[in-house]
Amino acid sequence: MKEELSEFLKLRDFVLRGPDYNTCKKEFKWPHLVKFNWALDYFDYIAKDNNDLALICADENGLEKKVTFDEMRRHSNQAANFFKDLGLQKGDRAMIMMENSVYLYEILLGLMKAGGVIIPAATMLPPEDVADRIKSANIKFLFVNSEYVDKVMKAKEALFDLVARINVGDPLDTILEEDSDKVPLWFNYKEVDKYKDEYVPTFITYSTDEMYSFFTSGTTAKPKLVMHSHHYPVGHLTTTYWIGCKKGDIHYNISAPGWAKHAWSSFYAPWNAQSTIFTYRYKQFNAKKVLSAIEKYKVTTLCAPLSVWKLFLIEDLSQYKFSLKQLVSAGEPLNPEITKKVKEKVNIDLREGYGQTESTAMVGNFIGEPIKEGSMGKTAPGYELFALNEFLDPAKSREDGQLAVKIYPVKPLGLLTALGDPEKNAAIFKGGYYLTGDVASIDKDGYFYFVGRADDVFKSLD
């Protein structure tokens, strides 16, 4: 067994044993990984000849597709071979504008195996933003569900920069009306079926190579690229520990593929645990339908944002026979009323977690730990967090300060490598810390209380 894989499995197995929080915090040590590709080295290792369910994709029309780990391994190998044939080179960036499907997971794994860099995009993105991201991030490949092809075609001026565009879904009868000889052709993803289901890489993957990058939301400024390396899925062992999913669990995370939370809880965290990932596709969110799916497919671990929990609580939850064991929430700060009502209705604690597009789970209410009203929990194993004042000194107990991650002498795996903006990098990496831009306070027991964004609370560091 490769040394790096052995080191990863050692930490993973420790996390999956479910040690109490204090033990996990004390004994959790990041592995030193030099050459590591999570898809090739880890996923293929646990997936080969493994007929356990890796993925269940269902939709509101009653359609479903179930895939075993070994099937996913072989299909993603076909995808990697297909991408290589299309001209994908190590380090090429690929933007993915897709809904949840079996194909999405094949593509994500296939890109990792083939050395591509994954850049997800929300399907609601307007054409001008699609064009801007293709150009600003030097995108070379574009994966789009067939229903969004018309919209993407309106980003025409940027399409000349692509090596290839891949339509995932129904064949396109009429691809282009003009300039068809000048614009890269559409390839249909169904061509993947003709490729071999064994893949042999022709390059070395270093753990520090870029692998999964995200555009920030850009609510106050132009979106910036948050770059993660092949350390990123390893870093999500903190997310796996927070969720509490294990082998044999069926995990459902309510998040669209265009967001970092999808990578968190609909990809890396559950497969780190060898859990089954469940996805449910719908045109418009309907609480009754989603709750029925959770019941039908015997979902055991569930992650959903505050807005979804509010909709769930409107329904009569007593009419469902759930198989739920763990409930978590991230993305929006919870309020005590919601957590209290969920406990009353389902008799399971709803545990909040905190992280960013730039990180994995950094703070959380972990299994077995007392939950304090209004708190998002304690520091995740593998992280050291502080609330700092404007001089980068620790704030007093329950005094507001900017949340900062200690990155010296050990930087947590899964924390961003950099932003696509040198000036901004200088502002967020200071004095041996990564400055999150979020403000919180910490009490004497180590519990964190979220306040807001730094720019909204106090003047940012100069």
Pair type for strands 250-253 and 301-303: parallel
For tokens 């909040």, the residue is 352
d(CA 110, CA 74): 10
d(CA 371, CA 451): 18
- 75 neighbors 107 (Cβ within 8 angstroms): no
Q: What is the pLDDT of residue 178?
A: 46
- pLDDT digit string (tens) for 267-293? 999 999 999 999 999 999 999 999 999
d(CA 191, CA 176): 20
d(CA 287, CA 345): 15
Q: What is the pLDDT of residue 424?
A: 92
Dihedral sign, Cα of residue 95, residue 99, residue 100, residue 104: negative
- 281 neighbors 242 (Cβ within 8 angstroms): no
d(CA 96, CA 244): 29
d(CA 66, CA 58): 9
What does residue 378 show for φ and ψ, rounded to 5 degrees? -115, 170
Q: What is the pLDDT of residue 184?
A: 55
Q: What is the pLDDT along the chain (462 residues), one digit of tens a residue?
A: 899 999 999 999 999 999 999 999 999 999 999 999 999 999 999 999 999 999 999 999 999 999 999 999 999 999 999 999 999 999 999 999 999 999 999 999 999 999 999 999 999 999 999 999 999 999 999 999 999 999 999 998 898 889 999 999 987 654 444 455 555 578 999 999 999 999 999 999 999 999 999 998 755 567 889 999 999 999 999 999 999 999 999 999 999 999 999 999 999 999 999 999 999 999 999 999 999 999 999 999 999 999 999 999 999 999 999 999 999 999 999 999 999 999 999 999 999 999 999 999 999 999 999 999 999 999 999 999 999 999 999 999 999 999 999 999 999 999 999 999 999 999 999 999 999 999 999 999 999 999 998 875 544 333
Q: In order of start, what are the domains of the chain with their CATH numbers?
A: 33-235 (3.40.50.12780), 249-381 (3.40.50.980), 384-462 (2.30.38.10)
Q: In the structure encoding, which two tokens stand for residue 31, read together?
A: 């592995």
Q: What is the pLDDT of residue 357?
A: 96
